[in-house]
Amino acid sequence: MIDLAQLKDQITNKLSGITSLIDLEETKSYFLGKKGLITVAFKNLGSVEASERKLQASELNIIKNDLIDRLNNLQNEYETKQINSNLNSEKLDITLPSKKIIKGKIHPVSQVIDELTSIFSEIGFSVAEGPDIENEYNNFTALNTPEHHPARDMHDTFYLDKNKKTLLRTHTSPVQIRTMLKNKPPIKIIVPGRTYRCDSDMTHTPMFHQLEGLYVDKNINMGDLKGCLEYFLKNFFEDNKLKMRLRPSHFPFTEPSAEVDISYKIENEKIVVGEGDKWLEVLGCGMVHPNVLKNVKIDSSKFQGYAFGVGIDRLAMLKYGITDLRSFFEGDIRWLDHYGFDSNDVPTNYRGLSK
Ligand code: PHE
C-alpha cells in the first residue's frame, strides 16, 4: 500500500518551500525523477493488491498530473519574474543619443603623396625611399656640392655629430645616389619623404616633405624633363590650361639647372593656380651633372638623366588652399578634421584630363 495522503502532504510541503527555479528543479526530480517518490510509487504498484491497484494508479496519476501542473505554473511564474528583473536591470534606453563614431582623416601630406604616386606611376616611375638620417657623402659630396657651399653650413643643416659626418637629410636628393649605386640604368624613380633644415616661419618648418624625381637612361634630354613636369603639374592641379615655365638656375648636382614656375592669380584674397599672369616657383630641376654620374659609376657618355625636387607641403597648400605651413605639423585634430580627407576619397581625378 502506498500512503497517498502522506505523499500529498510531502508535495504540499515541498512546493511551499520553493523560492527559486533551482528549488523547483530539485522538487521536480524529488518526485518525478528516476528515483523520485512518484516514479517509485508507480513502480511499486505491482506489489499492490489487484483490487486496490487500479484505484491507486488513478489516484497516483491525478496526484502526478496535479503536481506537474503546479510545477509548470510555478516555473512560468519564476521565469516571468526573471525576465522582468532582467528587463529592469538591463533596460535599453532607445531615446539615448548613440555614441559618436569618430572616423580618422587622411592628412593632406599623405593625400598629396598618394596623388603624386598615382600620377607618376602612370608614366612608369616607381617609388624609392631612403633614411632620414644621412651621411655627409650622400647628402652633399656625391651630389657635387662643394665644401664651401652655404647649404653645408650649421645654420642650414642639422648635424648629428661634431665632425659633420651624419645629418638629417636636407633634401631627398641623396636617394638619387643610393639608388644609382644599387641599380643600373634605366632608372626611373620618385622619392617622397621627410627633409630637414634649420628654418621656421609661416612658410618654413624645420621638417618638411619633398618629392624627388630621377630618370636615367640613354638619350634623355631637357625636352623629356619639360614634358614630364608639364604632365605632372597639369594633372596634379587638374588644369589642362595650366602654364609653366623653366627659368635658368643653379644646383651643384644638375647641369643645366632650372627652376619651374606655374601661372596663378589672386581671387578673393586666395591663390588660384592655373590661370592668371603671375608666376609662382614650385620646383627645382635639371640634367643630372656628369660628376654625379661619375660618383655612382655610370658612364655619362652613354647615359643621361634628369632630376627634379618639389616641396610636397607647398603643393598641398596651393591645391587645397591651406595658408599656414606650421599648422600641418601641430597635430590639432580640429585642423585635420577640416583639411583632412576621407579614406574613400579617390586619390585624384587626373584621369579626367585630356592628354
Ligand atoms: N634638392 C633640391 C632642393 O632641395 C631640388 C632639386 C632636386 C633640384 C633635383 C634639382 C634636381 O632644393
pLDDT tens-place string over residues 25-43? 999 999 988 888 888 888 8
Pocket of ligand 1 (CB under 6 A): 171, 173, 212, 251, 254, 284-286, 307-309
User: To test the ligand 1 pocket, which listed residue (173, 180, 214) has its Cβ within 8 A of the most ligand atoms?
Assistant: 173
Distance 282 CA to ligand 1 centre (A): 11
For 286, left (φ over 0), alpha (ψ -120 to 50), or beta?
left
Q: What is the pLDDT of residue 354?
A: 36
DSSP 206: S
User: To test the ligand 1 pocket, which listed residue (196, 226, 253, 304) has its Cβ within 8 A of the most ligand atoms?
Assistant: 253
Which residues are within 8 A (CB) of 271 and not within 5 positions of it... i.e. 6 or more apart?
A: 264, 265, 280, 318, 321
pLDDT in tens, 252-288: 999 999 999 999 998 888 888 988 889 999 999 999 9
The DSSP element (H or E) to which 63 belongs, if any, is helix 50-89
pLDDT in tens, 63-96: 999 999 999 999 999 899 888 888 888 877 788 8
Please state, in angstroms and rounded to a whole number, the distance separating the CA atoms of residues 127 and 147. 31
Distance 55 CA to ligand 1 centre (A): 111
Distance 175 CA to ligand 1 centre (A): 12
Ranges under pLDDT 50 in the chain: 346, 348-355
Atom number in ligand 1 closest to CA 214: 9
Distance 204 CA to ligand 1 centre (A): 16
Distance 168 CA to ligand 1 centre (A): 16
Please state, in angstroms and rounded to a whole number, the distance separating the CA atoms of residues 214 and 328. 27
Return the residue whose CA atom lies nearest to atom 10 of ligand 1. 285
Q: What is the pLDDT of residue 1?
A: 63
Diameter of the chain measured on Cα atoms: 129
Q: What is the pLDDT of residue 350?
A: 38
Q: What is the pLDDT of residue 339?
A: 95
Distance 316 CA to ligand 1 centre (A): 18
Kind of pairing between the strands at 166-168 and 133-135: antiparallel
Atom number in ligand 1 closest to CA 195: 4
Return the residue whose CA atom lies nearest to atom 2 of ligand 1. 309
Return the residue whose CA atom lies nearest to atom 6 of ligand 1. 309
For 232, left (φ over 0), alpha (ψ -120 to 50), or beta?
alpha
Distance 309 CA to ligand 1 centre (A): 4
* All three cell numbers of 294: 661619375
Residues in the chain: 355
Atom number in ligand 1 closest to CA 309: 7
The DSSP element (H or E) to which 287 belongs, if any, is strand 278-288
Distance 183 CA to ligand 1 centre (A): 21
User: To test the ligand 1 pocket, which listed residue (140, 171, 191) has its Cβ within 8 A of the most ligand atoms?
Assistant: 171
